[in-house]
Amino acid sequence: KGVWRVRLNGSGMGPPYSGEAQPIVHDGIMYVITGADDVFAIRIDSGEFAWVYESGLEPGISTVCCSWTSRGVGIGEGKLFLGRLDGKLLALDLATG
């Protein structure tokens, strides 16, 4: 039986999306990225969102070969890093998104 469950606002639920990333936990926060490149920071003690980053990717991106796949994020120096499907590298503040 789970302690808590959270819904990711429907992010990455459509047919073109694929989520292959594993969550990363750091200092009591779990960071999850979806196939739509949205990032959710979730407090592991309560399951509540600490912050949410919505990528706002254009649905018409046509350079994706196989599906909209995100394979994860990296953490370092107080930042969370992600490579977006539109070719941009983004650094988010760990505390505020």
pLDDT digits (tens, 9 = 90+) for 73-90: 999 999 999 988 778 899
Domain boundaries, the chain: 18-56+67-93
- Average pLDDT over every residue of 41-52: 97
- Average pLDDT over every residue of 31-56: 94
- Average pLDDT over every residue of 49-54: 97
DSSP at 67:
S
**8 A C-beta contact, residue 92 and residue 84:** no
3-state secondary structure of 22: coil
Instruction: Look up the CATH number of domain 18-56+67-93.
Output: 2.40.10.480
pTM of the predicted model as reported, rounded to 2 decimal places: 0.81
Residue 66: pLDDT band with limits 50, 70, 90: low
**8 A C-beta contact, residue 17 and residue 66:** no
Matching residue, tokens 């909209």 = 68
Euclidean distance between CA atoms 80 and 18, whole angstroms: 20
Euclidean distance between CA atoms 14 and 40, whole angstroms: 18
